């Protein structure tokens, strides 16, 4: 049984998708052992407490720099014997040492089809605003491992979602969450906990079920 930590900065809808998948028995080899909020008062912490999951708050403003924050986060996760770190709308930057310590053990879900509309500045509604401004016909979501490059880690899963003529950034965001993010992230976590993800030459290979 692998221990999972979910890091969140907001409402925690992707966290809820993971909680629901675990409750449904869809991840028999993993459990969410800790939810870390980047600030007090976020609804993700309420979701965790309602599900009986231990929580912690690690506010960036409480630390003088990225390095000291990253060290504190690393120590917290190691103390809880965390095997997999899931970024679920976590808006706080960590340093390269942190991603090295948890190499190929940090997952993020991005609301676009990487390499489109990703990298610095592409988060939240900004992603969907850019997609609509470009006039793309499909967008979607990507789950990837996290490395020192923003949105640059190996891709695990992707799912395309139709972009409609009358879409606003908000309606596109909602459809991508419902049709892609909330499905892909629990599946990627399950594959990891089942030992079916292998990174080779910067690419992820999904191993067959035994």
Kindly state the greatest CA–CA separation across the chain: 49
Q: Pairing between strand 155-162 and 138-145? A: antiparallel
Catalytic hit among 110, 126, 128, 144: 110
Nearest to 34 by CA among 109, 84, 69, 71: 84
Distances (CA, A) of 171 to 68, 104, 132, 167: 38, 32, 11, 6
The DSSP bridge partners found for residue 95 are none
63: burial class by Cβ within 10 Å (0-12, 13-18, 19+)? middle
Distance CA 154, CA 38 (A): 25
Q: Across the beta sheet with 106-110, what order do the strands follow?
A: 55-57, 30-37, 2-8, 84-88, 106-110, 138-145, 155-162
Tell me whether residue 126 is one of the annotated catalytic residues.
no
- Given a contact cutoff of 8 angstroms between Cβ atoms, the answer to whether 108 and 146 are in contact is yes
Question: Which one-letter DSSP state was computed for residue 137?
Answer: S
Give yes or no for a contact between 7 and 87, defined as CB atoms under 8 angstroms apart.
yes
What are the residue numbers of the active site? 110
């Amino acid at each position: 049984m692998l221990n999972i930590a979910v890091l969140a900065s907001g409402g925690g809808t992707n966290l809820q998708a993971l909680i629901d998948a675990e409750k449904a028995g869809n991840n028999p080899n993993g459990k969410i052992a800790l939810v870390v909020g980047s600030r007090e008062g976020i609804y993700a912490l309420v979701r965790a407490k309602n599900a009986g999951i231990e929580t912690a708050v690690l506010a960036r403003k409480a630390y003088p720099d990225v390095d000291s924050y990253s060290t504190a986060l690393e120590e917290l996760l190691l103390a809880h014997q965390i095997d997999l770190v899931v970024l679920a709308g976590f808006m706080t930057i960590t340093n390269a040492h942190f991603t090295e310590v948890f190499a190929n053990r940090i997952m993020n879900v991005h609301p676009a089809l990487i390499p489109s509309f990703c990298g610095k500045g592409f988060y939240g509604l900004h992603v969907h605003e850019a997609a609509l401004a470009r006039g793309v016909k499909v967008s979607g979501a990507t789950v990837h491992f996290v490395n020192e490059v923003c949105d640059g880690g190996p891709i695990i899963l992707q799912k395309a979602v139709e972009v409609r003529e009358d879409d606003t950034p908000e309606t596109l965001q909602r459809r991508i969450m419902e049709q892609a993010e909330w499905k892909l992230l629990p599946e990627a976590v399950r594959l990891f906990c089942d030992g079916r993800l292998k990174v080779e030459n910067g690419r992820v290979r999904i191993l067959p079920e035994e």
